Structure 1
Amino acid sequence: MDKLIRVMLVEDHPEYREVIDLALRDEVDIQLVSQVGSSERALRILQDRSDFVVPDLVLLDLNLPGKSGLETLPQFRRTCPGLKVIVLSQSNDESDVLRAIQLGASGYLLKSSTVDQIVDAIRTVATGGALLGSGIAKFILSSLQARLPNEELDDALSQREMEILTLLGEGCVKKEIARDLEISVSTVATYIRRIYDKLDVQNAPAAIAKAYRAGIFPLDEGASSHGDGDL
């Protein structure tokens, strides 16, 4: 990757900040420009840009002293509209995961993720992708209870869009969808943008979650676990 990815880390545990700091030092395309222990401090830095390099991406813990990460996530995005956010948390609570996605997080990883997984997530999200860490995608699929079917929402999607949304729900990336449906990657990308528009979501995790919550997809105990990947 040619472009340097500038990262801010918002994490209140010094030991974990040090782990991330050491991990990112070895990456030539990623620079940790700041690390702070509270969301309020992070917001002040972002708002006062006189002597600060604005980050491209924030690694955000949820359980912070003062305002939580969820409370301040929308403020981060309002302050810096192009800012990407990856939640990096110990919480796999359904409400935390879904709320973070709804508020615009492009990624959600558990702190048990490996350093390599975190680095890969930074690159994926920085280039416009969305990523759910190992176990999170599976968690969403297996824990969401099927709501009453939303026929209006279901009817809004074409058969091809339903096929692509289903493949997204199985953890397929664009290249795999293009191969399976024998269409181009650019065509898949066009369909995905239409799906996002129709479902009024910003990324694939949010589209998948909305589809399950609306009952568009039947809940299947044998559903794919998704694994890590660019959705």
Structure 2
Amino acid sequence: MQNNIHIMLIEDNAAYRKGIACALDNESDISLMNQFGTAEIALRTLQNASGNDMPDLILLDLNLPSMSGLDSITWIKQYSPNTKILILTQSNMEADLLCAIQRGADGYLLKSTSVEDLITGIHEVMNGGASIDPGLARVILNTLQKKLPTNTTTITLSQRESEVLALVADGLLKKQVAHQLGVSQRTVATHMEHIYKKLQVQNAPAAISKAYQLGLIDIQK
């Protein structure tokens, strides 16, 4: 993980922006480089930025005036493809979650999440994982159940890789997976790297989606 994570915050509620700014200010390895109340101004900034002016991660609200957070994801990926996007919203609607992930969001947290979990989520996303509100993680699997393919696959996951991915699919963070399996967080991260390589995906939501569709993980409701 890099020494300093540069954050852009896109949130129309000034009071909430201030609260997030205060929370991030207490973290030695995180800096809030800029904050905006609309997606349009944020996108204009990204379009004109380059190099070190690009944020490492954007905290993005969905319910924004004029252009919505969902609509802005595609533009963010176009202007700054290496920037991670962590949704921070009040919406627990299935359609918003699935649409955000489909368009390229790297994580999805509700505004009711604790400051500690938000900071952990930022680190998870920056380490190549995904941070999805535990109450919403099951939505992805329930949706995928309706789309299981009939073809076979030659891709295989080890028993431990399947265990790790199943726990991540249930909404557990790396440190929680490590604790439950009795291994280090570095070991969990290594398993996830192997899973990404085998499945040829970039992040945890994509890995969960592909593995479930291929029948490589079996998660009970």
TM bin (shorter chain): 0.7 to 0.9
Give the structure-2-normalised TM-score: 0.80
Question: Shift of the alpha carbon at 1:94?
Answer: 1.6
Question: Shift of the alpha carbon at 1:28?
Answer: 1.5
Structure 2's unaligned 5+ residue stretches are: none
Counterpart secondary structure, 2:31: strand
- Quote the Cα distance in structure 1 between the aligned partners of 2:93 and 2:167: 21
| Structure-2 change in CA distance of 1:220 and 1:134 (3 Å) | closer
Q: Which residue of 2 aligns with 1:89?
A: 89
Paired residues of 1:148 and 1:214 also in contact (CA < 8 A): no
Paired residues of 1:8 and 1:57 also in contact (CA < 8 A): yes
Question: Shift of the alpha carbon at 1:186?
Answer: 7.8
1:196 to 181, 195, 199: 199
| Structure-2 change in CA distance of 1:219 and 1:145 (3 Å) | farther
Structure 2 residue 48 is the aligned partner of structure 1 residue 45: no
Q: Which residue of 2 aligns with 1:164?
A: 161
Counterpart secondary structure, 1:135: helix
| 1:60 aligned partner, one-letter code | L
- Quote the Cα distance in structure 2 between the aligned partners of 1:104 and 1:19: 26
Give the structure-1-normalised TM-score: 0.77
Paired residues of 2:47 and 2:79 also in contact (CA < 8 A): yes
Computed over aligned residues only, the root mean square deviation of the Cα atoms, in angstroms, reads 3.0
- Quote the Cα distance in structure 1 between the aligned partners of 2:38 and 2:215: 38
Question: Shift of the alpha carbon at 1:138?
Answer: 3.5
Structure 1's unaligned 5+ residue stretches are: 222-231
| 1:151 aligned partner, one-letter code | T
- Quote the Cα distance in structure 1 between the aligned partners of 2:65 and 2:189: 44
Question: Shift of the alpha carbon at 1:146?
Answer: 2.1
| 1:96 aligned partner, one-letter code | D
Higher fraction of helix = 2
Any idea what the Cα deviations from partners look like across 1:111-163, whole Å, max 9, x if unmatched? Answer: 1101111111112222322211232223434x4362253132x4242253x86
- Quote the Cα distance in structure 2 between the aligned partners of 1:115 and 1:185: 24
Q: Which residue of 1 aligns with 2:21?
A: 21
Structure 2 residue 95 is the aligned partner of structure 1 residue 98: no
